[in-house]
Structure 1
Amino acid sequence: MHRLLKPMDEICLTCGKIGSCNQELPGICHACYRQVPWIFKPRCLRCGRGIGCPDCTRLGVNDRSFVLNRSAVTYDAQMREWLAQYKYRGNERYAPLLVEMMLRAFTMFHREANIRLGDHRLRNAHSVPWSIHAVTSVPVSQERLRERGFNQAEVLAKGLAASIKTPYAPLLERNRHTDKQSFKSRMDRLKDMEGVFGALQHAPEALWSISRSGAANTGSPEVILRIIGPLRILLVDDIYTTGSTINACAQVLRGYESFLEMPIEIYSLTWARS
């Protein structure tokens, strides 16, 4: 009887040890959960880094096309192995784990945004709370897609969008293949991103539809004919290093502000911040 009532032991997804898994994150043991380097209070409010950030104090940083980035964890050795298992070795069982971790980061960010970014202008706009209207992801090249078999950022973005009940919209494409960014210097990354991304053919129509479909994720059942205030898009990627990839994508999306006749705000959510 005792064996029947005792929970079955599980194999931890990340360390392989047998034991009871924690209830906080799917598939990992208590020991692995305690080692997750969460970013609860980012030191840099622009890029979301958990430690001091020299990047966001550089000259010209205010010219970025995205508002800010938030990340779930610091990219340490353990997180590097988790991402390698998912991204390079095709272990799809990591996807629900990473999505759940990003959901936690988004929940904290959403709370922060309504406090920090919900200024008097937004509060007076018919009391509409701060919210994201659509989720999209950083695209990969066809070469990377053939190599890995999937776009890791797209999988994470779709999982997150489903969790927060906000529409996912593929809006971007990669015009040319680039070498792995991890082997490049900061300046090389910035130069390499020039002209890499473009908008998918249906992007203008999709953005127009989103801007006219009502404010998603507000909990209101009423249909609003047009979003009041800026159109907010959440751009998802697996890791934030210099911000060059996020900024290049944001530049493309913000190019449709005149077409929509409203400002577009791009927010970035990544699983890890290096």
Structure 2
Amino acid sequence: MKWQTFMNSVHQFISPPVDTCLTCNKRVKQLNTSLAICEECTRTIPWIAKPRCGVCGRHIGCPDCTRPAAAQRAIVCNRSSVAYNAQMREWLAQYKYRGNERYAELLAKMLERAYTGMKREFTNTHFKWKIDFITFVPVSQVRLSERGFNQAEMLGSILSRKQRIPLIPLLERRRHTVKQSFKSRHERIQDMQGIFQLHSSAVQRMKDVLNSYSSSTSPLPLRILLVDDIYTTGSTVNACAHILKEAGLSLNMPLEVYCLTWARS
């Protein structure tokens, strides 16, 4: 063994390897094994362990779900991993706007935690809650060209792989809109009118899922998990869910749409 190789081995033995935290860039001896970030950053995550609102999953008092218009919602409920604060805004910006692809795995792991909680919440001794397939909120071609990827599709894809649930693109965006963060609640709702449509292959794919079940195991209803990055007013996910439910009615297919988002603002 060469002298330099020997010394490197000794150095590694007496000095444990050092990792760099993705989110704060600090060098630490060991990262959190589940999220691959340092323990200090892990402790600051504003997890939503038990939502205050059983519909939208908000962690604080929710005026939106008490409005009369809320009765027209198309989703069964939304659950989110975290509360959207300044730190989470920065993490999402790194992933969504700055193209830091390493954040995709971190955010997806956080999303999976919310999915696990949702599954536990809706499963009881007499009923096993099961999602039949995952879909995602589509982005416009303009956004796709700007970013090079659809952040919701990426998160849904990773969740699909980890949970072994089929990922099916069911929706398309009919037109481009300016960023929703620049709009009021009323403007967001108005802007979502007629913005989504079924993907050209959606109906056939939904039929294929139904046909994959035997008559004895056919799901009643078919359950779809709609993935997005942030839930603010719910206008986007509800617009998507309305399209999906209309498709279910046209196929005489009982259908429920659940929403899973990484953050709840």
TM range (shorter): over 0.9
Report the alpha carbon displacement of residue 258 of structure 1 after superposing the two structures with TM. Answer: 2.8
- Match for residue 92 of structure 2 among 83, 87, 96: 83
Report 1:254-265 matches (<5 A): 254-265=245-256
Deviations 1:51-99 (A, max 9, x none): 1111111112121011000000000000000000000000000011011
How do 1:143-162 residues align onto structure 2 when only pairs under 5 Å count? Answer: 143-162=142-161
Q: TM-score, normalising length from structure 1? A: 0.89
SS of the residue 1:102 aligns to: helix
Structure 1 counterpart of 2:253, one-letter code: M
1:22 aligns with 2:32: yes
Q: Trace 1:1-274 onto structure 2 (pairs within 5 A).
A: 1=10, 3-4=12-13, 7-19=16-28, 20-26=30-36, 28-115=37-124, 123=126, 129-214=128-213, 227-274=218-265
Distance in 2 (CA, whole Å) between partners of 1:86 and 1:93 is 8
Equivalent residue number for residue 220 of structure 1: none
Shift of 1:24: 2.6
Question: Which whole-Å CA distance do the structure 1 matches of 2:157 and 2:260 have between them?
Answer: 13
Matches of 2:217 and 2:206, distance apart in 1:
12
1:256 aligns to what SS in structure 2? Answer: helix
**Secondary structure class of the residue paired with 1:255:** helix
What is the alpha-carbon distance in structure 1 between the residues aligned to residue 15 and residue 45 of structure 2? 27
Task: Tell me by how many angstroms 1:224 deviates.
Answer: 5.8
TM-score (norm 2): 0.92
Consecutive unaligned residues in structure 2, runs of 5 or more: 1-9
Find the residue that maps to 2:233 and give its secondary structure: coil
Amino acid at match of 1:269: L
Query: In the alignment, is the contact (CA less than 8 A) between 1:158 and 1:168 conserved in 2?
Result: yes
Task: Please say if residues 240 and 270 of structure 1, whose CA atoms lie closer than 8 Å, have aligned partners that are also in contact.
Answer: yes
Given the superposition, is the C-alpha separation of residues 7 and 213 from structure 1 closer, same or farther in structure 2, using an over 3 Å criterion? Answer: farther
More moved, 57-66 vs 171-180 = 57-66
Letter in 1 for 2:240: C
CA distance in 2, matches of 1:93, 1:232: 30
Structure 1's 5 and 138: CA in aligned 2 closer, same or farther, altered over 3 A?
A: farther
**Preserved contact between residue 65 and residue 251 of structure 1 (Cα < 8 Å):** yes
The percent identity for this pair of structures is 55
Asked if 2 retains the 8 angstrom alpha-carbon contact of 1:212 and 1:226, the reply is: no
* Residue identity in the other structure for 1:183: F
Q: Which amino acid aligns with 1:22?
A: N
CA separation of 1:25/1:94 partners in 2, compared to 1, >3 Å: closer, same or farther?
same
Q: Distance in 1 between matches of 2:180 and 2:263?
A: 15
Q: CA deviation at 1:6?
A: 5.1
1:205-247 deviations in Å (ceiling 9; x for gaps): 0011112223xxxxxxxx6676231010000000000000000
Q: Deviations over 1:236-273 (max 9, x none)?
A: 00000000000000011111223332211000000000
Task: Give a deviation string over 1:143-169, Cα, whole Å, max 9, x none.
Answer: 000000100000000100111111000
Structure 1 stretches of at least 4 aligned residues deviating more than 6 Å after TM superposition = none
Residues 1:236 and 1:114: Cα distance change in structure 2 (over 3 Å)? same
Letter in 1 for 2:33: Q
Once the 2 structures are TM-superposed, how far is the Cα of residue 7 of structure 1 from its aligned partner?
Answer: 3.7
What SS class does the counterpart of residue 68 from structure 2 fall into? coil
Equivalent AA in structure 2 for residue 79 of structure 1: M
